[in-house]
Amino acid sequence: MSSTTAITTSSGGGLPNRLDTPTLDRESPGSCSRFPSTADMLTLVGKKYIRLYSASLSEELYPYAETMLSNSSQVDLDDIDERKFPEVQELEFVDCILEEGEMLYIPPKWWHYVRSLTTSFSVSFWWSKGEESSSAS
State the pLDDT at residue 1. 34
Domains in the chain, CATH or no CATH each:
3-13+22-128 (2.60.120.650)
Going by C-alpha positions, the residue among 34, 30, 18 that lies closest to residue 80 is: 30
CA 61 to chain centroid, in Å, comes to 12
Q: Are 88 and 7 in contact (CB under 8 A)?
A: no
What CA–CA distances, in Å, run from 67 to 32, 56, 70, 77?
16, 19, 5, 21
Tell me which residue of 4, 6, 7, 47 sits closest to 25, measured CA to CA.
47
What is the percentage of the chain residues whose pLDDT exceeds 90? 51
Is pTM beyond 0.85? Reply is no
Predicted confidence (pLDDT) per residue in 110-123, tens digit: 999 999 999 999 99
Residue 24 to residue 19: CA distance in whole angstroms: 14
pLDDT digits 0-9 by tens, 41-77 = 999 999 999 999 999 999 999 999 988 888 899 999 9
